[in-house]
Chain A
């Protein structure tokens, strides 16, 4: 692995080769921004922002399991609850009661507050870490002595992160639903995406690097073979070069 940045004073995010690694920020960023599918729910996905227009006052919810338009959704909300007459943490749902077994305005329970605040902080932190990851990778491309190669590698990393988030996140969401529909779905999906995104990023970069090096090796061997043939053809020991378009055997030509 090329050493792209000599950054001795850096902390744990520097790998043995001296390259800034973006697994953690990319993984967290993916979880904060990517739609994490929930299997078997006809298009629902875990997200940290609502779908559809809402007025400037915004939403009082921080966690959403929703379809692409927001028409069907389960969201974790805080505010006046018409069912209890109090201000509390509660689930609001529309069209997904069968999937999660939660009625509209169902109280979120003891962990609801922690999940509500955790989702909000994770959304902000994840986006910030995503920016850090993008900046780090951009820097690695700019300072690289082979920028196009490095660009291909980081692109492979981001593609791997996206795929890892989707796959492992979906598995996490499915597993979380078995434990606790609704809250468990969201936690499993987000954690799965974080792990899958980070590992997918690493795997994507490794695979892309391997593919590039394999390609470079193939090209190198082809060039070597061509050079060797030209040498044989032009060598005094091999006799005159045959005329173009015909292979004329020459007596005494070395093979």
Chain B
């Protein structure tokens, strides 16, 4: 099986996809890890990180201590297990992007991660827009400048790629089909 394959439908029939006007959802599938561990295999992480970094600015949730940007979590997110301060990382570096799959406090395999995609020249989005995305499941609102969203699927066994920009979708899919970049540090 390839590191990543594309599917119109998710493997979990009970999956609730993003439903926002103008957005299209695809599902990225990958083989299970041979070592019995949860999460995507290293080759999948490398391919996905390289593809995302090649086509967009990637913003993801991270441990606040090491994150360049931090925002206080409201009580509504604290009740959902968020720490008092949420860290955010915005980058195009594949090595950094790869770390989103193993962030303390934002576990990919328990659907505790979210990845926003922005055009390279987009300005930083407001904290309120980030927090609004996290309030509902699936999200009921996304930042105005956001053109793509990657969400972990059930048990982190697949990913939902939502895009409202056809060019971004094509670019991501094309990048995924390219020869894989060297495995990034994790």
Task: Report which A residues bind B (CB closer than 8 A).
Answer: 49-59, 61, 69-71, 73, 75, 77, 79-80, 82-83, 87, 92-95, 97, 103-105
Instruction: Assess whether B124 is interfacial by the CB under 8 Å rule.
Output: no
Task: From B13, B37, B105, B136, give the contact of A104 (CB < 8 A).
Answer: B37
Task: From B14, B39, B106, B157, give the contact of A94 (CB < 8 A).
Answer: B39
Interface contact A70-B111, CB-CB below 8 Å: no
For chains A and B in complex, what number of residue pairs have CB atoms within 8 angstroms? Answer: 101
Interface stretch, picked from B50-58, B75-83, B92-100, B171-179, is B75-83
Instruction: Assess whether B74 is interfacial by the CB under 8 Å rule.
Output: no
Interface contact B155-A92, CB-CB below 8 Å: yes
Q: How far is the CB of A4 from chain B (nearest CB, A)?
A: 36
- Bound Cα distance from A54 to B155, whole angstroms: 11
A–B Cβ pairs within 8 angstroms, 29 of them = A49-B81, A50-B81, A50-B110, A53-B61, A53-B81, A53-B82, A53-B112, A54-B111, A55-B112, A55-B134, A56-B137, A57-B111, A57-B137, A58-B80, A59-B110, A69-B104, A70-B104, A70-B105, A70-B112, A71-B102, A80-B14, A82-B155, A92-B155, A94-B107, A95-B37, A97-B36, A104-B36, A104-B38, A105-B155
Interface contact A104-B33, CB-CB below 8 Å: yes
Task: State which residues 53-91 of B face A: CB under 8 Å.
Answer: 61, 77, 80-83, 86
- Bound Cα distance from A71 to B62, whole angstroms: 13
Q: Which residue of A lies closest to B110 (CB)?
A: A54
Interface contact B80-A103, CB-CB below 8 Å: no
Number of interface residues of B (CB under 8 A): 36
Interface contact B37-A55, CB-CB below 8 Å: no
Instruction: Assess whether B135 is interfacial by the CB under 8 Å rule.
Output: yes
Interface contact B32-A83, CB-CB below 8 Å: yes
The residue in B14, B82, B110, B114 that gathers the most chain A C-beta atoms within 10 A of its C-beta is B110
- Bound Cα distance from A2 to B157, whole angstroms: 60
Interface contact A93-B104, CB-CB below 8 Å: no
Instruction: Assess whether B109 is interfacial by the CB under 8 Å rule.
Output: yes
Interface contact B36-A70, CB-CB below 8 Å: no
Q: A53-B81, A69-B105, A80-B13 are in contact. Are A97 and B37 (CB under 8 A)?
A: yes
Q: A58-B80, A80-B11 are in contact. List 4 more A-B contacts (CB 8 A).
A: A50-B81, A53-B61, A53-B82, A70-B112
Q: How far is the CB of A115 from chain B (nearest CB, A)?
A: 18
- Bound Cα distance from A97 to B37, whole angstroms: 7
B35 surroundings in chain A (CB, below 8 A): 97
B105 surroundings in chain A (CB, below 8 A): 51-53, 69-71
A73 surroundings in chain B (CB, below 8 A): 107, 110
The 9 nearest A-B residue pairs measured at CB: A103-B36, A55-B137, A57-B137, A69-B104, A80-B12, A94-B38, A53-B82, A56-B137, A104-B38
- Bound Cα distance from A63 to B32, whole angstroms: 23
Interface contact A52-B106, CB-CB below 8 Å: yes
Interface contact B137-A71, CB-CB below 8 Å: no
Interface contact A57-B16, CB-CB below 8 Å: yes
B107 surroundings in chain A (CB, below 8 A): 52, 70-71, 73, 94
Q: A94-B39, A103-B36 are in contact. Are A79 and B109 (CB under 8 A)?
A: no
- Bound Cα distance from A69 to B155, whole angstroms: 17
Instruction: Assess whether B5 is interfacial by the CB under 8 Å rule.
Output: no
Q: How far is the CB of A23 from chain B (nearest CB, A)?
A: 30
The residue in B16, B38, B61, B83 that gathers the most chain A C-beta atoms within 10 A of its C-beta is B38
Interface contact A93-B38, CB-CB below 8 Å: yes
Q: Which residue of A lies closest to B39 (CB)?
A: A94
Interface contact A56-B81, CB-CB below 8 Å: no
Q: How far is the CB of B159 from chain A (nearest CB, A)?
A: 13
Q: A80-B11, A80-B14, A93-B38 are in contact. Are A53 and B80 (CB under 8 A)?
A: yes
Instruction: Assess whether B183 is interfacial by the CB under 8 Å rule.
Output: no
A87 surroundings in chain B (CB, below 8 A): 14
A71 surroundings in chain B (CB, below 8 A): 102, 104-105, 107
- Contact digits for B1-19, partner A, Cβ 8 Å, 1 yes 0 no: 0000000000111101000
